[in-house]
Amino acid sequence: MDDRWLSPLPIKFDDEAHRYCWEPTGQWLNHSVTKVCKGTKDAWAMKRIMETKHIWEPRGKSVHAALETFLKTGDPGQYPEEYKEWVEPLLEHSVWKTYEAVACEYRLADVERSIAGSFDCLLRRKDDHNQLVLVDLKTQGKADASPYDVSTQLGGYLGMLSLHWPKLYVQKAGVLWARPGSTTLQKVDVDQAVIEWQGARDAFLMLNQPEF
């Protein structure tokens, strides 16, 4: 990885349908990492998530877009003023002094299992380009909100990243929790995340076999 940015994979994303296509064969993949992870949640949790979608979805999209623009250009660009409390602490976090992005909103696929997804950013240390960290960004509505477990999701990205880039060693992973007035970084165990993903993925596929 001599150049700063990781080369994109030939994956097309249909935002409206939230589906991924593996362009070399034209295959539309059946599942996403998000869909697999949602399969591990109970009905009550999913109901609560969907009831508040009108709040967290526009906030999440705006804050993610600001971070992506910032990592690519050094400036967050234009974003809705109502999300300033989330964006400013995020961009002022100390992690950006040590690390720089080598991939943002990067699309991945496990073509054999018909699963795809996109991670938020892959970072490398500015003073040691061999040290890589996979980071996911989550936004929460309250300053005192508690983090929740997203290691399975990160494990999905880590596992699929190794399929396409087997020589790329990602030593660390973490979640940036953006809340009004502050941003914290939570570490995630890489090996444990991959194990959790493999279990969730296999259980999900057992219950979602295609009909013949």
Using one digit for the tens of pLDDT, what is the confidence trace for 136-160?
999 999 999 999 999 999 999 999 9
Which pLDDT band, with edges at 50, 70 and 90, does 3 fall under?
Answer: confident
Strands 19-22 and 172-179, bridge-based pairing: unpaired
H/E element, 72 = helix 53-73
pLDDT of 48 > 90? The answer is no
Interval 82-104: pLDDT, tens: 999 999 999 999 999 999 999 99
Report, as an integer, the average pLDDT of 58-65: 94
Q: What is the pLDDT of residue 57?
A: 83
Q: Could you tell me which of 66, 17, 37, 23 has the C-alpha nearest to residue 153?
A: 37
CATH T-level assignment (fold) for domain 11-207? Trna Endonuclease; Chain: A, domain 1 (3.40.1350)
pTM to 2 decimals? 0.90
Higher pLDDT, 189 or 53: 189
Percent of the chain with pLDDT over 90: 83
pLDDT of 45 > 80? The answer is no
Dihedral over Cα of 17, 20, 26, 29: its sign: negative
Burial tier of 24 (Cβ tally within 10 Å: 0-12, 13-18, 19+): exposed
Higher pLDDT, 1 or 33: 33
C-alpha distances out from residue 57 to 63, 71, 99, 167, Å: 10, 21, 27, 35
C-alpha distances out from residue 175 to 51, 95, 120, 170, 190, Å: 24, 12, 10, 15, 12
Show me where the domains of the chain are located.
11-207
